[in-house]
Structure 1
Amino acid sequence: MGRDNREVTLRFLAEPGDVNFGGKVHGGAVMKWIDLAAYACSAAWSGKYCITVYAGGIRFVQPILVGNLVEVSAKVIYTGSSSMHIAIDVQASDPKELNNRLTTHCIVIMVAVDEHGKPTQVPKWVPETEEDVTLERSAIKLMKMRQEIGEEMEAHVKLLKSNLESRF
């Protein structure tokens, strides 16, 4: 397909229903916004229905206040055969001042699926600028690190399971 729809930005006001007990927007609301932006971006890039398979490295940098103008920006930074790595930045500002500040950042991996829920091909994204090359390298490095963490977690679970079985 070779689509040009690599980036999506959602903009809206943080509402009172998004607030936590501390008076700030709660992390669950922010995670929902991240998932929505990742879906919009991956669907626009692939032209297909997409599902979230991973959301990680979520960094809550600063709080979002009720009434802030929120911008959730999503950008394709790497594509596999059916997967798309989406970099997400959440920014917020007082709508009277429009001084955006980074509040949250993460990477989400989306997979395009067919009508039977099976992974399906997506257009290849090719970096065009030095920044794009850096983003793609970062996505590949993070992918390798997630694999190592997954292997370590699997070994940890086996050890825990073995310890539990030996007790009974």
Structure 2
Amino acid sequence: MSEIKYRKVSTSKVTISELMLPSHQNFSGKIHGGYILMLMDQIAFAAASKYSGTYCVTASVDTVDFLNPIEVGELVTMKASVNYVGNSSMIVGIRVESENIQTGKVKHCNSSYFTMVAKDSEGKNIKVPHLILGNGDEIRRFCKAVILINQKKEHDKHSKTFDYTSPQALEELKNYNIRLDFK
């Protein structure tokens, strides 16, 4: 049996900054959310791969709430680190901020959690090193990840048992802006 390997959270930390160009804007003149999501996926990959020392794939993305729009000409900085490890999976926390270069004003634009899975050269899941938590922020982030995992499990459990065709469920649908029109 092999010895368990441990790594510090700091071995996963990655920061990227990119100037937002006119080519990144959407139809309303703000930076396109899809472009930001692409950058977030790239930094999640970098953090997870750096930590695990292997190729990683995105398994899921937690809620991404766009808190503040990003303007053309702003400098976007993303910070990521592994917050939690399972057997082959890692939860990478990402924080996105934008800075108006002229005024120096910094805005928190969004935060999210990407679940990444380590793969070997044949595409099979492989074990990742265990995590060393070295300060209060790292412990807080780890605990938040545990809460997210438990919430997902609870949600999945309820989703599998909910009968949306029951008379009670159909009755509750009347509280929404819909009309049932079965043919």
TM norm structure 2: 0.81
Pairing of 1:1-12 with structure 2 (within 5 A)? 2-3=6-7, 4-12=10-18
Identity %: 29
Pairing of 1:46-85 with structure 2 (within 5 A)? 46-85=52-91
Deviation at 1:129, TM superposition (A): 0.9
Pairing of 1:1-168 with structure 2 (within 5 A)? 2-3=6-7, 4-156=10-162, 159=164
Question: 2:130 is paired with a residue of what secondary structure?
Answer: coil
Distance 1:155 1:36 in 2: 36
Distance 2:78 2:58 in 1: 16
Deviation at 1:105, TM superposition (A): 0.7
Tell whether the 8 Å contact from 2:6 to 2:132 is kept in structure 1 after alignment.
no
Question: 2:133 is paired with a residue of what secondary structure?
Answer: coil
Moved more, 89-98 or 35-44: 89-98
Distance 2:34 2:118 in 1: 24
Distance 1:28 1:153 in 2: 28
Structure 1 gap ranges (5+) = none
- In structure 1, give the amino acid aligned to 2:51: W
Deviation at 1:99, TM superposition (A): 3.0
Deviation at 1:97, TM superposition (A): 3.4
Structure 2 gap ranges (5+) = 170-181
- In structure 2, give the amino acid aligned to 1:120: I
Deviation at 1:54, TM superposition (A): 0.9
Deviation at 1:14, TM superposition (A): 1.0
Distance 1:91 1:159 in 2: 40
Question: 2:73 is paired with a residue of what secondary structure?
Answer: coil
Q: Give the aligned CA root-mean-square deviation in angstroms.
A: 2.1
Deviation at 1:152, TM superposition (A): 2.7
- In structure 2, give the amino acid aligned to 1:86: V
Question: 1:131 is paired with a residue of what secondary structure?
Answer: helix
Larger radius of gyration: 2
TM norm structure 1: 0.88
Deviation at 1:29, TM superposition (A): 0.8
- In structure 2, give the amino acid aligned to 1:16: P
